[in-house]
Amino acid sequence: MAARRAHSTAHPETADPRRPGRQQTPGRRQLTVGRTLRRLSVVALAAAAAGLGHLAPAVAAPIYPIPDGDSFYWAPPDVGNYQPGDVMRSRTVPAAGFPGATVWQLLYRSSNSAGDPIGAVTTLLLPPGGGMNRPVVSYQPMVNSLGMRCAPSHSIFDGGMQEAPALNLLLARGWAVAVPDHLGPVSAYGAAKLGARLVLDGIRAVKRFGPADLGLSPVGMAGYSGGGMATGFAAALAPEYAPELPLVGAAQGGVPMNIGKLAQDVGMAPNPLFGLGFAAAAGLEREYPNELQMDRILKPAGFALRNQLANACTKEIIDSGANKSFGDVFIGAMDADPVVIRVLHENSIETFPGVPRIPIYEWHGASDQVSPQLVREVVGRYCAAGTPVLLNMVPGADHGTAIAAGAPAAFGYLADRFAGLPAPSNC
């Protein structure tokens, strides 16, 4: 990040008239995501659901990540004086991997799951050639990590985000691309409703950011697996949380619709991706420290694993937890707890009552380890509410192979929505 810090900008604009005295700063190659990364959600959120299911009241000791060493990421002391989506800080960064693009990073105000104000970062890529009010795609990458160094605003440039080259396909269409750090400032992996807020407030931020000229731009959203969950939750949350946003559609694939049921399906046996499940439990504990308290249920091996993974990215998490089971790290049976159930429901699209009011393209492997039936049920509820949904169940595809089968159609679907064409539906 040293090179990027050297390109930080601090050009004052006119003070925001809503807050006198405060100034703002301006400033297809197919997706080739590795099979392991594409299957993360199968076990990742499962452990969070099952592993925290019998918690007793106690003083929790969640392990938070080391704060990002780059002060750009730090929320200012007066963060609560800003509105959700307000840009608090901005800078340009080198466009490594995105030839001709101009890249900004924005620190904007959002809220965590307790409603407290937080700072969040989105990376905004503008294609060459200029142009006002061009379409914007908010792309939610798969982030399956606990360390701040693993956030998309870092990994989009350092090779850690394997989807990054595909973003050039969107830029080549003349679209702006916003990539939010949708796990938030403590990398709360597993907190899907938080991710939805960060996505929507990130869209607000790029539209309010004067130098980008996106104030009247239409917006689409896209993502797969964990990124698809953030996308899908944002689409369902938008009518109540951000009804003013000009969203034209969402393309979401491989979406885990209910993390509790996912636990029942795949989370109880030893699994090579168990570390991801444990990391999701740790991430939810970070976001809900008063409700989800792991100390009372961790074995010594669990404490050691939590400490080891506190700042880890995906590969280290997978390697450290490979082929472990809940019994290796947790004490006792995985009994239901009303508070835990509430938290899981709050972070599951299936049980969230909101319904998208924009067209949806939903693709999913027919042989996906993430339940295709739950996808069908959620789509049925959306259809019954009048939302046009185009559901593509990819024959024979599992969670690892469906992404490539559905992504090209996802980009084309968004292009048609930006063009104002009628949304197809097979409800």
Percent of the chain with pLDDT over 70: 83
List domains and CATH numbers for the chain. Answer: 2-259+345-418 (3.40.50.1820)
Q: Which amino acid is at 262?
A: L
Report angle CA 5, 7, 9 to the nearest 5 degrees: 100
pLDDT of res. 264: 61
Give residue 337's pLDDT band: very low, low, confident or very high (50, 70, 90): confident
Backbone angles phi, psi at 84, to 5 degrees: -55, 125
Return the DSSP state at 364: E
pLDDT of 28 above 60:
no
Q: Which of 49-58, 184-193, 217-226, 301-310 has the lowest mean pLDDT?
A: 49-58
pLDDT of res. 52: 54
Q: Average of pLDDT values for 31-38?
A: 42
pLDDT of res. 267: 55
Give residue 238's pLDDT band: very low, low, confident or very high (50, 70, 90): very high
Give residue 258's pLDDT band: very low, low, confident or very high (50, 70, 90): confident
Here the tokens at position 351 are 């049980």
Of residues 50 and 103, more confidence is placed in 103
Query: How many other CB atoms are found less than 10 A from the CB of residue 318?
Result: 21
User: What residue has token string 């239901």?
Assistant: 336
Alpha-carbon distance 334 to 49, whole Å?
9
pLDDT of res. 3: 38
Burial class for 123, CB neighbours closer than 10 Å (0-12, 13-18, 19+):
buried
Give residue 179's pLDDT band: very low, low, confident or very high (50, 70, 90): very high
Q: Average of pLDDT values for 258-281?
A: 76
CA 245 to each of CA 176, 183, 191: distance values in angstroms, whole numbers, following the listed order: 16, 21, 23
Provide the 3-class DSSP secondary structure of residue 309. Answer: helix
Provide the 3-class DSSP secondary structure of residue 238. Answer: helix
pLDDT of 344 above 80:
yes
Alpha-carbon distance 65 to 151, whole Å?
12
Q: Average of pLDDT values for 50-70?
A: 67
pLDDT in tens, 102-155: 999 999 999 999 999 999 999 999 999 877 899 999 999 988 899 999 999 999
Give Dmax (Cα) for the chain.
60
Q: Which of 40-44, 141-145, 277-281 has the lowest mean pLDDT?
A: 40-44
pLDDT of 268 above 80:
no
